[in-house]
Structure formats: structure tokens, C-alpha cells
A and B are shown apart, each in its own frame.
Chain A
Amino acid sequence: MDNILWHSVFFWAFAVITCGFAVMVVLSDNIVRMAVALIFSLSGAAGLFLLAGADFVGAMQLMIYVGGTLVLLIFGVMLTAQGPFISLKAGSGDWIIAVVMVGLSLAMLLPMAWSVPDWHGPAMGASETKTTKQTALQEEAEADQETVVVEHNVSVTEIGLSLVGVRTDLNQEDQESGQLPEGYLLPFEIVSVHLLVILIGAAYLARAKRPRKPTKYP
């Protein structure tokens, strides 16, 4: 009997949460319930991020998606959910199509996911390497010293530096060969300007329309 890997336990827990609430989003007809289910689903996804060592991305998922986007969605729901529009039911023909698509997509995606052996996860005991684990869940790692999983956490510092153009994860040889470390300064700038434009555009589109007063000409 192998040791229970708490990392795996939490993964399954979050995976169930994420997928379950996602299915709830699909199945629910009430828009308000859908919004609530989506919150939980995305929060679960954030948990999965943390488990994958992406602390910063997970935090962002919580803050931006759950805190920002969903609030926005809920605003939309509140502004439009009136009477007949709270639940709009699709026809059963749509459902059949949806089921066919689900079948086809999963038939394609799941074999693909399992088709690469390298992706199956580290084999137990295969590696002798022991390194200090730096997971987000310290206690879980300490309790399970025997696991050979080498978690690699990406710190905020690294992401921040790469966003302004400095790569800390590239090895020295590449830098000596004369190639400049390639960061994300330009995409970063483009995205920021893009966001600005989008926000202005959104504000413009969503502004309250006042009926123009007819101009009186003398």
C-alpha cells in the first residue's frame, strides 16, 4: 500500500469541484444560478493552478476572474434578468447536437491527453533525486518526504522580471552565445495599451444613451 499522495488528493478534490460546477453551469437554466456555479468552477480552477505550482497565476485567476469578470457578469445578469429572460430554454434539438459535439470532442481530446507517455506523471520511485520541495502547500510536502516529485514553483519575481524583459530561467550559455534574453516587454506593453483601449471602448459602448434634444432653429 503506497502512501497517499496528498497532492493527488487535493487535485482530485479540486478537479471534481471544477468539473462538477462547470456541468452545473451547463445544465442550469436559471441565469443567476449559472453565475454562482461559474464562480465555484473558476475558483476550483484557481485551486488547480496553485497545485500546479503557479501561485501567481492562481492568485490572478481568483482576483481577476472571480473578483472582476464575474462581478461584471453578475452586473449583466442583474441588468438584463427580467421576467421571461431569467430562464431561456433551448430546444431539445439543440441538446442533441450538444451531446453529439460533447461526444466527438471528448473522443478527440481524451485519447490525445493520454497518448503521450511523458505526460502520465512521474513514475513512483523511478527517480533518486531528492530536492527540497517548495510547494504552495508546504505541510503536505513535509508530510510526504518520500515523493520524488520535484515541484518547480515560479516566483512572482521571475514573472515580473520576464515581463520587463529579463529572463532568469535561461541558462548561462545562451546568454554567452550573444543571444539576448528574450522577455515579454513588448507583449506586455501591447497588452496594457490594448486593455486601455478596450476599457475605454467598453465604457463608450455601455454608456447611457440620452435622447438627443431636437435642436430648435430660429
Chain B
Amino acid sequence: MLSIKNLHATVEGKEILRGLDLDIGAGEVHAIMGPNGSGKSTLGHVLTGRQGYEVTAGEVTFMGQDLLALAPEERALTGLFLAFQYPVEIPGVSNMEFLKTAVDGMRKHRGLEVLDSVSFMKQAREVCKRVDLDQNFLKRGVNEGFSGGEKKRNELMQMMLLEPHLGILDETDSGLDIDALQLVASGINSMRDSKRSFILITHYQRLLDFIEPDHVHVLGAGRIVRSGDKSLALELEDKGYGWLESEAV
């Protein structure tokens, strides 16, 4: 589904990704861990085409397409979703309007009929319930005045409605208490199937107690320095990242 080869990327002239390789198959969940500054979030932003993240070398194929040649919105429509670490507020634009605009575009792209407002409202309310957000959040401005946890659940709601092929969750677990973490995890688990894949970007093993990854990768200095299964995450939890540092250089 996603194939990254020798990816190099710079931010403000500084090289952050230095030859990253990663293959993700359909239905797989990959956890990407690593210390601060190792390039975890950069990977998410580079894949989704954020301005200011410049790819200097490498190739990325997603769903059979050259991902790097696509505009950010085209990447999204192809089925790539990023749950933001710090979701931004858009005052005045209601969550409902935002969601409907996004879902309408997605449905059009997939050749599906656009839902009328009533059907969409019904669907949005159900998803609200699944992520335990009050329906009032649909009427409020996008993330406007939401708490950290509410913003994360709002991201999850967007992912549920947009049904991407690949969801990248950028430290979605940070700042969540244990109840919220479980809720978010069960939401993601409910979306897992044989076709949909996930990249979980996280600092901590904690999230992986609830979402079992197929693969765990450790990022160091802009590339993957160790890959393994779930046990790698546990090992990291024990020993920290220090023991990998020497390999990263």
C-alpha cells in the first residue's frame, strides 16, 4: 500500500529525514517510535505534503501512485489521513460544515453519491457517540475552544467519517488520560480491517497496550534504526532509547 524508499527531507534547510525506508502492507498497523527530534512527526508531514517540508531525495508510492507528485488535498482524497498532534482551530466554521464539505469531496472522489444533509447529520451523530463527544460539538467551530482530549477525539471522528486507506496518528495518545486513551484506541481498533492500515507515531508503549501493532520501528536521526514486533516496544519501555543511539549515528 505504502512504500517509502530512501526518503530524505529538510525543514528550513535542515535535513530531518535521512534515507528512510518503510513498506506498509494492506491491513497492517505500524508503530513508529523514537526520541524527540528523530523525525517522527516530520514523516507524517512529509507524507501528507505539508508546506515547508522539502523532499530532497527518495520515492514514495501510495496506492500505486507517486505520492510526492500529488497536492496535499489529492493525497487526502487518495486515502491518506493524518490525525494531527496539535489540531488547529478554525473559528466560525462549524464542525458540521467542515465535516460535510470534507466527506462530500471524498464521496465525489470515490464515485459515491453525496449524502443529503439529513443522512449526513445522522451519520455524524452516530460517530459522535462512538468517540463520546456531545452532539453540540458538531455545531461548534472546528476545534474552537475544545480541550486537548476533545480535539483528539474530533480528529478520530474525522477519520471515521472519511474512512481512509491509511491513517497516520501523530502522537494521538499524548495528553490523553487513560479513559480517553482507551476510547481512542478502541475507536481505531474498530476501524481495523484487512484493507485499512495505520501508522501510529508515539513516544510511549502505553498506546500499544491497547492497539496491537504488527510492526514496531524505531526512528533515530532520520531513519529507521531498528524494526521488530511488539516486543521491541516493550524492550524500549524497559531500556529507553539510549541503547539504540549508537546505532543511529
Are chains A and B native binding partners rather than an unrelated pairing? Answer: no
